[in-house]
Amino acid sequence: MRFIKVFFVSTFIMFSFLVAVIADDEAEEACKLEFSGVIESEFSYTMNEDNSESDLYLGKVEISADASLDSYFSGHLLFAYEYGENDENIALDEGSVDIKFPLISLSLGRVVIPFGIYDSHFVTDPFTLEMGELKQNAISISSSYSIVEACVALYNSRVSIDGEDNSHIRDFSAMIKGSTPEDVLSGKASISLGISFISNSAELESIRDMLGESAIVKRVAGINGFASLSITGLFMNGEVIQTLDDLETISGEKIKPSSFNIELGYALPNIPVELAGKFEQVSQNEGDSIKRFGGVISTGFAQDRASIRLEALRIDDGETTQNAITSQLAISF
């Protein structure tokens, strides 16, 4: 493992030096700075067996800045606010220095760890995203050729493991994705699928919450699979996350989390309206799953830079049920 780390970092330094030499020939190119963002306002109404609640809130704000120095060097910053996560401030969510080659890109900083893609047409984040999304300080290498994309990231885990400290970079994740060429069936159909792997599933956000502050006995890997299909307006996407063994804390607690999400929908012809339905599930152990299903209708305006969504979901945890209606007005710029 030490050899892999040294090789990885040495390769990064070597490529950085080579690109710096090459980039001198393009120094006269002007630096480009681009800003973009998203603003989402939402209204929700929830009903359970005992009472009901309603709320109006700013769901999400994202402000992104991308600086391109030349053909090789660029930088990325993303500041985000999300209701229920960081209610009082807007925080740095991503930040990286990127070096691009014709077939390989290197990123160093706080990046999205390559584990899952979490495509969804709904307002509410799917269980798979809540479980699997991870942003971490890491070195990431990505490559794409024709219809295949691959990415690997190396980083230092924040999870305490019995008998180890967190003073060394020991964890990694990897993803490979394939898709059909754009000219298949005259562009009327597309298929995309892939798989990803993470060496320490306890690092994932919701699993860390399940474990609390307890140290784990050993690393347990996690796997993710995803697929999407689109045929002349019909679309379907599915994703699953599973730990490969029980996660055990030093106090003796064991969990084996998993989740999946399936969505099916149709984009109406000639008008910017989409209809979609979903079924998803998350569990900490077998027999204690939470199920959620429902539908959404959405429409776009202003060249799809503004959208309105109306979502209805039913949640069942085996003991109680809850119905939720959420509407969202969003713009992107």
Contact (CB, 8 A) for 316 and 291: yes
CA–CA distance, 6 with 17 (Å, rounded to integer)? 17
Strands 148-155 and 171-179: antiparallel
Number of domains in the chain: 1
Question: What is the mean pLDDT for each group of 10 consecutive residues in the chain (333 residues)?
Answer: 48 49 52 94 93 94 95 95 84 95 94 96 96 95 93 91 78 95 74 96 89 85 96 95 93 92 95 96 90 97 94 93 97 96
pLDDT given at position 209? 84
Question: What's the residue count for the chain?
Answer: 333
pLDDT given at position 155? 95
> Which of 108, 194, 191, 200 is closest to 144 using CA atoms?
194
CA–CA distance, 33 with 76 (Å, rounded to integer)? 10
Contact (CB, 8 A) for 293 and 276: no
CA–CA distance, 31 with 156 (Å, rounded to integer)? 32
Beta bridge mates, 197 = 174, 223
CA–CA distance, 271 with 7 (Å, rounded to integer)? 53
Domain of 211: which CATH number?
Answer: 2.40.160.10
pLDDT given at position 330? 97
Give pLDDT tens digits for 138-156. Answer: 999 999 988 999 999 999 9
**What residue numbers bound the domain in which 190 lies?**
2-332
pLDDT given at position 10? 52
Give pLDDT tens digits for 274-324. Answer: 999 999 999 998 878 999 999 999 999 998 899 999 999 999 998 899 999
